[in-house]
Structure 1
Amino acid sequence: MPVVLSLNVAQRAVPADHTRAGSTGIDKRPVDGPLRISPVGPKGSAGSGVAGDSIADLTVHGGEYQAVYGYAREDLDWWQSELDVPLHNGQFGENLTTQGIDHTNALVGEHWRIGTALLEVTGPRIPCRTFAEFLGQRGWVKRFTRQARPGAYFRVLEAGLAGPGDEITVVHRPAHDVTVELFFRAVTTEAALLPRLLAAGDSVPPEVVDLVHKRTVVELDS
């Protein structure tokens, strides 16, 4: 049975000279009880959908399509073995550390019922310098990108309470083949895949839709 192993938040942003905001909310730690998960506004004006969670740079994190970030404990364990370092729940900056459900092959637009909240898969996490500095791993962005185990972002369709031990139920799977992995490869290493993302409709963040259209215009003009 897929479950939430831990619900993780950054109770405050910590200083970091390698971010545009000068601080980061990547250092997330497990909390004991359930927290409210709520819809938020567009990127740039809103932060996390998880109550009590801090986000420092709203230009690149948070907002409607990145309201919640999930990562599988199975993938954390894989990285733990690869890196030969212990990785605690929340180490990758995820709000939801899960067990028994595959984020990489989830379809963009899937609906997951967690506790009383309803979440929609909206795409992958893209690694950044802050992530690399936090882990203390040289070459981390390239390594993380090469392995394509990015975890999934979610928007909140229905507000509710979610917490450790809650069952995860996939209540809707859309009729297309746009997985989180395909999305990740399209925006990182295989731009030729970008047009396929449009099959996921309004589950795709607007800035990614704009990227697809801009690429199409460039190709038509070239």
Structure 2
Amino acid sequence: MSVGTLVAVSVGQPRPIPGMRAKTGIYKEPVQGPVEIKTLGIAEDAVLDTRHHGGRDQAIYVYFQDDYDWWTGELGYAPEPGLFGENLTIAGTTSAETAIGDRFAIGDTLLEVTYYRQPCVTFSAKMGDPRWLKRFQRANRPGAYCRVLAEGTVTAGMDVRITPYAGERVTVSELMALDGKDIPLDFIRRAVTTPIREKTRFKYETRLASLF
């Protein structure tokens, strides 16, 4: 186990997407004071595209300060917490080190990593860069979606106890690197032994079942 820091807790309200009709909850701002994390996330946080975001397996999106530090050189400015639409900004680890099943304990709150963040056109619109999807993909620093194993209240500045998953180490960066590719069967067999999100588990197990 290692110990990191909760840099910020960010929530968003519905806002228009530049050049699009729909509204989005991706515009997140750090908040002061305690915030309750429930099974389905933060009650005050807007999740509008429920097809791709939210739900039990993607209740909380975490981005890592160490990855933001890398982006500082790429963007030419230091990203503020919440820029990428994350709920929690954590210092002390990176996407490359974070695997499915890793756990983040913050006070009484316990989160478990389930998947990586896939960039979308809304993200590109927010960043004002039509090439952002490819740029974010190439960087391979996606951050992590988490399910809530234990509800609790968190505040920026709290310690984050990071417990690595004891089984197969399938990192969120590994998953992102395979996005859009024919996923090797040996990788699928590794992944289904982890607590990966149920949507992906069903897809992987269906593919394995089709071999017999």
- The Cα of 1:86 is off from its aligned counterpart by 4.2
Q: Which moved more, 1:182-191 or 1:162-171?
A: 182-191
Query: Post-superposition, which runs of at least 4 consecutive aligned residues in structure 1 deviate over 6 A?
Result: none
Which of 5, 8, 11 matches 2:7?
5
Taking the aligned partners of 1:136 and 1:216, their CA distance within structure 2 comes to 40
Paired AA for residue 175 in structure 1: G
Which of 62, 68, 86 matches 1:94?
86
Is this contact kept in 1: 2:100–2:171, CA < 8 A? Answer: yes
Q: Which moved more, 1:189-198 or 1:80-89?
A: 189-198
Q: Decide whether aligned partners of structure 1 residues 190 and 143 sit closer, same or farther in structure 2, where only a CA change above 3 A counts.
A: farther
Which structure 1 residue ranges, 5 or more long, are not aligned? 41-48
Paired AA for residue 132 in structure 1: S
Paired AA for residue 64 in structure 2: A
1:181 aligned counterpart, secondary structure: helix
Which structure 2 residue ranges, 5 or more long, are not aligned? none
Structure-to-structure mapping, 1:35-54, within 5 angstroms = 35-40=35-40, 49-54=41-46
What TM-score do you get using the length of structure 1 for normalisation? Answer: 0.85
Structure-to-structure mapping, 1:54-203, within 5 angstroms = 54-171=46-163, 173-189=165-181, 191-192=183-184, 193-200=187-194, 203=195
Q: Provide Cα deviations, 1:113-167, integer angstroms capped at 9, x if missing partner.
A: 0122011011110111111110012311112112210001110000001110010
The equivalent residue for 1:15 is: 16
1:80 aligned counterpart, secondary structure: helix
Q: Percent identity?
A: 34
Paired AA for residue 131 in structure 1: F
Q: Decide whether aligned partners of structure 1 residues 67 and 158 sit closer, same or farther in structure 2, where only a CA change above 3 A counts.
A: same
Q: Which moved more, 1:204-213 or 1:183-192?
A: 183-192
Aligned residues: CA RMSD: 2.1
Paired AA for residue 7 in structure 1: V
Is this contact kept in 2: 1:38–1:160, CA < 8 A? Answer: yes
Paired AA for residue 39 in structure 1: T
- The Cα of 1:75 is off from its aligned counterpart by 1.1
- The Cα of 1:17 is off from its aligned counterpart by 6.6
The equivalent residue for 1:43 is: none
The equivalent residue for 1:30 is: 30
1:131 aligned counterpart, secondary structure: helix
Q: Decide whether aligned partners of structure 1 residues 18 and 159 sit closer, same or farther in structure 2, where only a CA change above 3 A counts.
A: farther
Q: Decide whether aligned partners of structure 1 residues 57 and 107 sit closer, same or farther in structure 2, where only a CA change above 3 A counts.
A: same
